[in-house]
Chain A
Amino acid sequence: MKKLVLPFLVILFFVSESIVVDLWPKNGFYEKYIFVPRFLLIAIVFVTVYVTRFYGIVYGFVFGLLYDVFYTEILGVYMFIFVLIAYLTSKAMRVFHNNVLVTSFLSIVAVSVVEFYVYGIYLLIGKTDMPFEIFLYDRLFPTIFLNTIFVIFVSYPLKQQLIKLPIREREDEDYLL
């Protein structure tokens, strides 16, 4: 039963993004500013730090693929960046102290990196023609704001949940990459 806790948690984060967007009060504010929930990405950063890098990469791959197929229908975009973020997070954690605040900060950095990356790709393939300035003020800043609030509320309980998980091979998995 305990083995199902982690997948269930991540699925919850995956589903919550769509629910948040759907149930957000739809007024002029919603139309002007684009708040993008990146809860799944935050979860993947936390899994990488508090479970293992291997789990982070695998979850990044699987849920990135799910995200691509189910939500955006452009394959590969999120799959690639989620795996890359998991890998870079694990590299970064060697430099920083292992602390909830540091992890939270890293996840916010990851959110902005993903926003820039997706914006770049969509500009490249012509799915958007949003000017950079509008992207910055109407999209990036509200997104960071929303996700920061989310991280403040979720980081500590999420960390506690993840540390409790019975996963044996913590720390000794440097054979991969």
Chain B
Amino acid sequence: MPQFFLNKRLIVLLVSIIFLVALIGFSLKERQNLTWPEQFIKDTAGFVQFIFHKPAQFVAGFFENVNDIKHTYKENKILKARLEEYAVLEAQVQELEKENARLREFLDKKESLRDFEPIQATVVGRNPDRWQELVIVNKGKRHGVTKDMAVITPSRALVGKVQHVSPFTATIQLLSASDQKNRISAFVQGEENAFGLIEGYDEKRKALLLRRIPFDAKIKEKQKVLTSGLGGVFPKGLVIGEVLEVEPDEYGLTQMAYVKPYANFYDIDDVIIAKRKIDDPKEEGE
């Protein structure tokens, strides 16, 4: 027995396992903020990553461009066919936008849930062990990013939300993370909007799960799913994806839809963090 306790290696091992469990427990609990040493390490490492990452991205981008040129002819043909369609749509949208602005003036309602201030950010790092899909970008608290903000691609499709911020970097959790706590209030666009919550991701079908839709809502395939802006800091009207399939939920009280996301979660270089304008204290004071 005394021999057992004198075994230095064993004691070191046991102490470090206790330490390990404590640390894991600490990092799993719901944290609003990272501790300051973590923020400091993140910022420093983020800076180093940025230095290495930029040239690498540039070189890769060049090869990608060469690859793209090969497909240009075919794509051009398809796009030309759709150009007319687009022009009509564009005119319509402009008309509607104008009308919307005029009506808003009538109502003296200047701010809406839809308005957001875009914060451009570049990806500087990606979690290499792909258990959790985390992406690190080069904008942080100093640039106005806060926890839980929506993150979209340059083509305005939702990709994820901000998980943690440090002064100069932010960690983004992609929608494809199988995290039950990652809830987003959304609705299905139709004659009557059906509201629900995005909860989790189906790895096999590559689809998001839109749960808690009222049982009497009529949802068809191919309908678009957008953020509702009701759940907190997300702006309204960011596109998420389109409905693949609808089925009754576990207990049959609500419906569940599989939503095919528009954004490609894997191919992300630049993102936009959407800072909702309505939350800005300056504007509230006016």
Contact = CB atoms under 8 A, between A and B. Distances in A.
A26 B20 contact: no
Nearest to A139: B130
A113 interface: no
Contacts of A65: 41
B38 interface: yes
Given A71-B134, A177-B9, A20 B38 contact: no
B66 to A, nearest CB: 13
Given A73-B163, A125-B24, A22 B126 contact: yes
Contacts of A15: 48-49, 52-53
Interface in A1-56: 11-12, 15-23, 26, 30-31, 34, 36-37
Interface of B: 8-9, 12, 16-17, 19-20, 22-24, 26-28, 34, 38, 41-42, 45-46, 48-49, 52-53, 56-57, 60, 123, 125-132, 134, 136, 163-164, 171, 178, 203, 206, 264, 266-267, 269
A19 B53 contact: yes
A128 B131 contact: yes
Contacts of B126: 18, 21-22
Interface string A54-83: 000000000001100111111111011001
B174 to A, nearest CB: 13
B125 A71 contact: yes
17 contacts: A17-B128, A18-B125, A19-B56, A21-B128, A22-B53, A23-B56, A23-B57, A26-B266, A37-B128, A71-B125, A71-B128, A72-B132, A73-B134, A75-B24, A77-B24, A79-B20, A127-B132
A128 B79 CA distance: 41
A80 B60 contact: no
B65 to A, nearest CB: 14
The 6 A-B pairs at the shortest CB distance, nearest first, are namely A76-B23, A17-B128, A26-B266, A26-B267, A75-B23, A23-B60
A31 B265 CA distance: 10
Nearest to B177: A127
A66 B45 contact: yes
A129 B48 CA distance: 33
Nearest to B56: A19
Interface of A, helix, strand, loop or mixed by DSSP: helix
A80 B20 contact: yes
B237 to A, nearest CB: 27
B171 A73 contact: yes
Contacts of A118: 129, 131
B53 A30 contact: no
Contacts of B9: 177
Given A11-B48, A76-B24, 20 more contacts: A18-B53, A18-B128, A19-B56, A20-B128, A21-B128, A22-B125, A26-B266, A36-B128, A37-B128, A70-B42, A71-B125, A72-B129, A72-B132, A73-B34, A73-B134, A75-B27, A76-B20, A76-B27, A80-B19, A83-B16
Contacts of A70: 41-42, 45-46, 49, 125, 136
A121 interface: yes
Nearest to A40: B128
A34 B129 CA distance: 9
A110 to B, nearest CB: 14
B206 A31 contact: yes
Given A76-B27, A80-B16, A177-B12, A71 B127 contact: yes
A62 B136 CA distance: 20
B49 A18 contact: yes
B170 to A, nearest CB: 12
Contacts of A22: 53, 56-57, 123, 125-126, 269
A118 B49 CA distance: 24
A122 interface: yes
A98 B216 CA distance: 71
Contacts of A75: 23-24, 26-27
B206 to A, nearest CB: 7
